[in-house]
Structure 1
Amino acid sequence: MNLAFVAQVVLVLLVCEQRVDSSYKRGFGMYYNYYECGDTYALNNTYWWYNWHYNFTKDVTYHCPRRTRGEYLPMIANEADTLDAEIPPESKYVLGFNEPNEADHMSPEWCAELWPRVEKIAGGRILVSPALAACDIYPDMCIDWYERFFKACPGCRVDKIAVHGYHCVPYELLQSLGKISSHFNRPIWLTEFACHGNVSSQDQINFMNIALPLLEQASFVERYAWFSQRNKQATTFMPNFSSNLLNLKSPTLTSVGLFYNDYK
């Protein structure tokens, strides 16, 4: 057991109830096909956002009177994106593949083979790793995946480690993130998180009330993004829209969005 990591987790737990000022860490995922004009302005206390795509295309926002606000981060989500992606020139970061261990069933070796294309597209920008699913519950699985990735591509450049987590126990979530960060000596970007399942909006707020101070205080967590601004399709994973930050048909905050946006 890494004693430095244990001490860090203990410190985080001791300060978990403290409120802290809004920081650059806080962001959100935004489904571009569910975008409503004004969404980014409603979430005016968030710092950054992304949309699982490499550009926020003008055909989505051309009808809106104002441009979006906040820092937009492009993503090379899959193999197809490595063929034609064009990164906005003002972007400082590029996010890597989205859930290759689940959604696209991409092996670490396959991702490693494609990664030089991602590096070429990113240029000199800060490059974030593929974002793996279920790292909160199975941190050892994610560590094994990344070890295979780095072994297959020893010269690959990865500046940050991205993971997803839908664990409803914040302390265990933070332990998993710390373990992964410590193993690879890189900061964590939690690019999707929420409490999954048939839970209420109040359950999500209760989860945030503990998770947000932990994430803010953890030095190994560099950024985090809630899932998501708006989801209009019910699924078994998120059956009742309880994680939506914004209402279904307008750029206005839900109770969950109000807590997330105004948290300090």
Structure 2
Amino acid sequence: MVFSSKKLSVAASLFTLALADPWPKRGLAANDDVPISQFSGSWNGHGSQVNWQYNWDSTTNQKQSWAEFIPMLWGTQSYHTTQWFDNAWYWINNGGSGHLLAFNEPEQGGQANLSPGDAANAWRQYMEPFYGHAQLGAPAVSNDGYNWISQFLQACSGCHIDFIPIHWYNDWTLENDFENWVNSICSLGGGRQVWITEFQAGGTIDQQSTFLRSAIPFLDNNPCVYRYSYFGTADNSKVLLQNGGPALSPLGVQYTFSPYGSGNGPN
């Protein structure tokens, strides 16, 4: 882990998390119109492993009392940047947020669409001012972005980057590819934490369940991985919800209530 000095409130919250060994890593990537209120509590005596949320935006209207909200600067368009500082400072100072996310899949033309050099300049302008107040994430590339994130880390070598978020989408049979992708970023990151802020296996619900039975133990037991969120509470994928929610689907129960280090679901 790469830590820097923090405001007392942030440091205290991180210390509280560290008291629980192991502590939950699971989160939700959830658009605000997708209900997530039932990803808490317990199921058959097993407590929820979900303790953080984000929504690809820098503020939310469905902050859950049991989850840390992570603001994101999705891209460098003015409708993102003009509200960024006010929203990020609000959530750091008033909302209990201790982390910030930056730039969604900048290697892709249909997403944030930034060169590594332009992203480094924007990161210094919009993320670096929060150094010492929150843990700061690099741009989040998908599993086509190894070269992009390598070049970004070189271009932003003087930046105070605490963790590297990544995504992964592939067939459910390629769980080994998922593990290799995560481990490659762990090696690239020079000791930084890695977050998997989006990942989903292609296949039927039963096939995705099989994938998670292997992926969750790998992620929970990997000391480089600090947090992860399965893609299933978004407008274009609600596989963790039953008929759109708020009730959880069987896959949602498996993801939420599988004990730490086990992907087999609550027994």
**What's the offset of the Cα at 1:36?**
2.8
Distance between the aligned counterparts of 1:159 and 1:130, measured in 2? 11
Matching of residues 35-74 of structure 1 within 5 Å: 35-36=34-35, 38-41=37-40, 44-57=48-61, 68-74=65-71
- 8 Å Cα contact 2:74-2:112 kept in structure 1: no
**What's the offset of the Cα at 1:228?**
2.4
Query: For residues 22 and 227 of structure 1, do their structure 2 counterparts lie closer, same or farther at Cα, with a shift above 3 Å needed?
Result: farther
Query: For residues 94 and 114 of structure 1, do their structure 2 counterparts lie closer, same or farther at Cα, with a shift above 3 Å needed?
Result: same
Aligned to 1:10: none
**What's the offset of the Cα at 1:194?**
1.1
**What's the offset of the Cα at 1:253?**
0.6
Distance between the aligned counterparts of 2:73 and 2:129, measured in 1? 9
- 8 Å Cα contact 2:34-2:245 kept in structure 1: no
**What's the offset of the Cα at 1:132?**
0.1
Matched, 1:191 2:197: yes
1:188-232 CA distance string (max 9 Å, x none): 111101103xx211111011011100111111111111112243x
**What's the offset of the Cα at 1:53?**
0.9
Pick the structure with more strand per residue.
2
Distance between the aligned counterparts of 2:175 and 2:244, measured in 1? 30
**What's the offset of the Cα at 1:72?**
1.2
Distance between the aligned counterparts of 2:165 and 2:234, measured in 1? 22
Aligned to 1:263: 258
Aligned residues: 219
Q: Which amino acid aligns with 1:260?
A: Y
Distance between the aligned counterparts of 2:208 and 2:36, measured in 1? 25
Q: Which amino acid aligns with 1:83?
A: T
* Local SS of the residue matching 2:138: coil
**What's the offset of the Cα at 1:35?**
2.5
Question: 1:145 pairs with 137, 148, 161, which one?
Answer: 148
Distance between the aligned counterparts of 1:22 and 1:245, measured in 2? 24
Q: Which amino acid aligns with 1:171?
A: N
Matching of residues 75-90 of structure 1 within 5 Å: 75-80=72-77, 81-85=80-84, 86-87=87-88, 88=91, 89=93, 90=96
Question: 1:204 pairs with 208, 211, 228, which one?
Answer: 208
Aligned to 2:23: 23
- 8 Å Cα contact 1:230-1:247 kept in structure 2: no
Question: 1:159 pairs with 159, 162, 165, which one?
Answer: 162
Q: % of aligned pairs identical?
A: 26
Query: For residues 49 and 257 of structure 1, do their structure 2 counterparts lie closer, same or farther at Cα, with a shift above 3 Å needed?
Result: same
| TM-score, normalised relative to structure 1 | 0.75
- 8 Å Cα contact 1:101-1:132 kept in structure 2: yes
- 8 Å Cα contact 1:75-1:96 kept in structure 2: yes
Q: Which amino acid aligns with 2:138?
A: S
* Local SS of the residue matching 2:106: coil
* Local SS of the residue matching 2:181: helix
Q: Which amino acid aligns with 1:78?
A: G
Query: For residues 40 and 84 of structure 1, do their structure 2 counterparts lie closer, same or farther at Cα, with a shift above 3 Å needed?
Result: same
- 8 Å Cα contact 1:22-1:263 kept in structure 2: no
Question: 2:135 pairs with 126, 137, 158, which one?
Answer: 126
Q: Which runs of 5+ in 1 are unaligned?
A: 1-20, 62-66, 234-240
Query: For residues 71 and 84 of structure 1, do their structure 2 counterparts lie closer, same or farther at Cα, with a shift above 3 Å needed?
Result: same
**What's the offset of the Cα at 1:166?**
1.6
* Local SS of the residue matching 1:129: strand
